[in-house]
Amino acid sequence: MAATSRTVSTPADTVSNLIIRLKAQEERRLRAGHLWIYSNEIDSAKTPLKTLTPGSLCRFEDARGKPLGAGYVNPHALLCGRVLTGQYDAVIDADWFARRFAAAAALRERLYREPFYRLVFGEADGLPGLVVDRYGDVLVVQIGTAGMELLKSKLLAALQTTFKPRGIVLRNDSASREAEALPLYVEEVGDVPEAVVIDESGVKFEIAMKGGQKTGWFFDQRDNRDRLARYISPNSKVLDVFSYVGGWALRAKAYGAAEATCIDSSAPALEAATRNAALNNTTIETIRGEALDAMKQLASDGRRFDVVVVDPPALIKRKRDHDEGLGLYGRLNRAAINLLTPGGILISCSCSHHLTPEELQRELLRESRAAGKRLQILEQLEQGPDHPVHPAIPETRYLKGYICAVAHE
């Protein structure tokens, strides 16, 4: 078949005859299972990208015209093509989405008893550009690409048919959409409550559906918070840095910690943490401020903790921010180490996919040595199984962390 970028009049939910032809040898990553295509991998002479509508459904072929699969294209983005399926003649309609959603739900239902989890994790679930979190009968959706934006009506119809939710909120206000030249907005479908109460291993959390961070809750750390239990004793004092609404702190209290302190720069987040403490018939201390400043003040006040959790947002959002972000991880962890009692436990995490586990480990070693302490790594952490890793896309393995014992020399 000759390569072409012709416009066709086929229905919007089918893959049209728009063909994206790759340069010679550029199909190797796709043949190995990857789902991304960069603009410099496309034969622009045979596929004039600039003429295409952002998000257009298309078929991908190698330089010899052999099929590679179907997906969508955004000519204005460096990462301009994403494969939805290896089926060249696929029909991408509501039924197609419903099948993907059913498969994603079946996996999560094997993993978790309650319907609180990340239901769709983009590429790892065969749905690049789409994230869905499930809060019982309320779904929170994030669309990150022009292709998924054009398919919004189809995927919403499939979510409604498959799960019959009370309401759906589209939290399409992430700055990552700017890379695809997409507008930022929040949209509600059906009855979306202000907040939903979830149960995480017996601890209740009230999660804002419309105004919380990202999709409201960080399900990716749930299994790691479960692992906290063995490090808590009845006398434990716990510090939760970048606490958001108190996830680590309240799980520690449920495991029997005597005291838990939350540090966050957001007053609404700390107010929510206090409400969550009351919801679980307990109390916590909250400190509003920048993490480094607050930890230094605690150290000056002579405060010490048996467990310190450092779980910041992504500090390295772009490759060019790597060195600066790495330095900040180091300073945060040194401040945390200085707050630990002898033999205390440091839980250090990073969700920056530009930071490798090995780099975080080296930073922990460097800072512990600088503080005159001896570090022992007890456990290595990663995202929970409702955030599966695509074996061909290392970027889907983004969360890393270590549970460490910190002893005096």
Q: How far is CA 51 from CA 7, 48, 73, 74, in A?
A: 10, 6, 11, 11
pLDDT for residue 313: 93
Q: Which candidate, 150, 106, 100, places its Cα nearest to that of 127?
A: 100
Residue 212: pLDDT over 90: no
Nearest CA-CA partner of 379 in 334, 349, 343: 349
- pLDDT at position 318: 86
Looking at per-residue pLDDT, the higher value among 319 and 158 belongs to: 158
Cα separation, 364 vs 344, whole angstroms = 14
pLDDT level of residue 288 (50, 70, 90 thresholds): very high
Q: Is the dihedral of CA 5, 9, 10, 12 positive or negative?
A: positive
pLDDT at 8 over 80: no
Residues that are catalytic: 351
The whole-number pLDDT of residue 11 equals 40
Quickly count: other Cβ atoms within 10 Å of residue 36's Cβ: 18
- Please give the average per-residue pLDDT across 328-336, as a whole number: 96
Which letter, b or e, does each residue of 192-230 get, where b requires 16 or more Cβ atoms within 10 Å of its Cβ?
Answer: beebbebebeebebbbbbeebeebbbbbbbbbbbeebee
Residue-wise pLDDT tens digits, 13-59:
445 679 999 999 999 999 999 999 999 999 989 888 888 999 999 99
Q: What was the pLDDT predicted at 4?
A: 34
From the list 17, 16, 7, 68, the residue with the least C-alpha distance to 42 is: 68
Q: What average pLDDT does the segment 385-399 reach?
A: 96
| Mean pLDDT on 168-197 | 93
The pLDDT confidence band at residue 162, using thresholds 50, 70 and 90, is very high
Query: Residue 9: its pLDDT value, please?
Result: 34
Q: Which domains does the chain have, with CATH numbers?
A: 19-85 (2.30.130.10), 94-193 (3.30.750.80), 215-408 (3.40.50.150)
**Tokens for 24?**
């010679």
Mean pLDDT of the chain: 93
Q: Which amino acid is at 39?
A: S
CA-based torsion, 180, 185, 191, 196: positive or negative: positive
293-305 average pLDDT score: 98
pLDDT for 303: 98
Given this model, what pLDDT does residue 16 score? Answer: 62
Q: What is the pLDDT of residue 7?
A: 33
Residue 95: CB atoms within 10 Å:
13
Q: Quick check: 19 and 59 in contact, CB under 8 A?
A: yes
The whole-number average pLDDT for the span 205-209 is 94
**pLDDT mean over 5-11:** 35
Q: What is the pLDDT of residue 336?
A: 98
Helix, strand, or coil here: 173?
coil
Higher-scoring residue by pLDDT: 12, 24 = 24
State mean pLDDT over 374-393: 97
End-to-end CA distance of the chain: 70
HSE toward the beta carbon, residue 171, CA cutoff 13 A: 20
Indicate whether 1 pLDDT > 50: no
DSSP 268: H
For the stretch 71-98, pLDDT in tens is 999 999 999 999 999 999 999 999 999 9
Report the percent of the chain where pLDDT is more than 90. 88
Six-digit token pair at 16? Answer: 């049209």
How much is the pTM?
A: 0.92
